[in-house]
Structure 1
């Protein structure tokens, strides 16, 4: 893990210690709930390595949901005539972490906890995500080996993956990275057209029987294991 560099802006410091996001830190500072060496902190204060920072607030109780995104639904920033996640569910105040393209379906984490965004999406953290894929063509005998060992997609060699062949044109793949349209591009580089792509799992959170468009709260041990793996 990279050593923290001081001096550090106090909002960045609070975010690095996983108290909250930087924006939430600014709000806490403005409300006078953050103390720096016994004095009320102000926006722009910088923290030295041996400084004492106290936060006088009760940590927010965040919400987490597993959502099965249907094909055709947009994750972020819909254009005119498009349907996004927010308009298909009755949940308020939550947002999707990460993306699934319009033609893909499956698991999306919905939350109001902005703290987990970087840890979950940072490829250096190597959090595993699993997908179910169907191609228009039959899979060759060497398909599994090629996909697992890495595929050159426009000059980038993908990291090793775990592939299980499930049928003549179906397979599952577990990745620890998430380049844009990565699986579709990997398949295309090997001469295959992706007919269906469904995300089945993010770390220890799975679809677990959710029908398209349905969601369920993430609670209990599933939630505690999920957050612990993210460093919370």
Structure 2
């Protein structure tokens, strides 16, 4: 969902099918409130989370929502799918609420782990931006044994022809012959699988267990919870 900012008079005129002149008069007469206060002008900027009341009628009252889902394998990171269960379908939200939600940082069909779902486009865009340097951590299981060549290659970055860019430095820590923890500050298309592909080492399992200080904890596959205030605040300004 894209963030929707605009003028107060345009919103009310369209919502109630009235003229902007009528809206102007209501504002003058203190008949319009935004977030509990009288509107200060017809050109006042609002967004999709502004609480708007006109002549005692509530016109908009969306609340920011942030959820953490432990995505199982076989669940698609999408809002709709004709074949597979979707991440949103596991949240038990109303149809109206689902229409407002989107996924911040997708996982592919056969990957599992931490998935963030929100209706706050500004927050999710900041969270996924490399500029904010929020680390995404994955436990990766591969088909062939790992060696000392992997960590330097990941730290150096790899050039991807598809995008025409070099990946940012990534941290790889070998935890066993066939498993490593990978920490990224970006999320290009199938990035981890493609990076291991440079070594001709197929990824067997990919499990994301943390984004910044947000972790799965004891959450079981298919379970979800609301984010805490501290977790939401990992994006500066929230």
Q: TM-score range by the shorter chain?
A: 0.7 to 0.9
C-alpha deviation, 1:78, in angstroms: 4.5
Aligned match of 1:170: 179
- Map 1:176-215 to 2 at 5 A: 176-215=185-224
Aligned match of 1:30: 11
Asked whether the 8 Å contact 2:66–2:227 carries over to 1, the reply is yes
Q: For residues 145 and 198 of structure 2, what CA distance do their matches in structure 1 show?
A: 15
C-alpha deviation, 1:70, in angstroms: 0.8
- Map 1:45-56 to 2 at 5 A: none
Q: Is structure 2 residue 76 aligned with structure 1 residue 74?
A: yes
Q: For residues 138 and 105 of structure 1, what CA distance do their matches in structure 2 show?
A: 22
Asked whether the 8 Å contact 1:75–1:100 carries over to 2, the reply is yes
Q: For residues 64 and 186 of structure 2, what CA distance do their matches in structure 1 show?
A: 26
Q: Which moved more, 1:134-143 or 1:213-222?
A: 213-222
C-alpha deviation, 1:79, in angstroms: 4.1
Asked whether the 8 Å contact 2:142–2:205 carries over to 1, the reply is yes
TM-score w.r.t. length of structure 1: 0.73
Give the paired residue count. 197
C-alpha deviation, 1:134, in angstroms: 0.5
Query: Which of 121, 132, 137 is the aligned partner of 1:130?
Result: 137
SS at structure 2 position matched to 1:82: coil
Query: Which of 108, 115, 119 is the aligned partner of 1:108?
Result: 115
Which residues of structure 2 form unaligned runs of 5+? 13-31, 35-39, 54-60
Q: For residues 217 and 6 of structure 2, what CA distance do their matches in structure 1 show?
A: 35
RMSD of the alignment, in Å? 3.0
Query: Which of 80, 97, 109 is the aligned partner of 2:104?
Result: 97
Aligned match of 1:221: 230
Asked whether the 8 Å contact 1:162–1:173 carries over to 2, the reply is yes
Asked whether the 8 Å contact 1:70–1:106 carries over to 2, the reply is yes
Query: Which of 87, 98, 111 is the aligned partner of 2:89?
Result: 87
For residues 42 and 206 of structure 1, do their structure 2 counterparts lie closer, same or farther at Cα, with a shift above 3 Å needed? Answer: closer
Query: Which of 208, 230, 236 is the aligned partner of 1:230?
Result: 236
Dislocated runs of 4+, deviation >4 Å:
24-29, 55-61
Q: For residues 3 and 68 of structure 2, what CA distance do their matches in structure 1 show?
A: 25
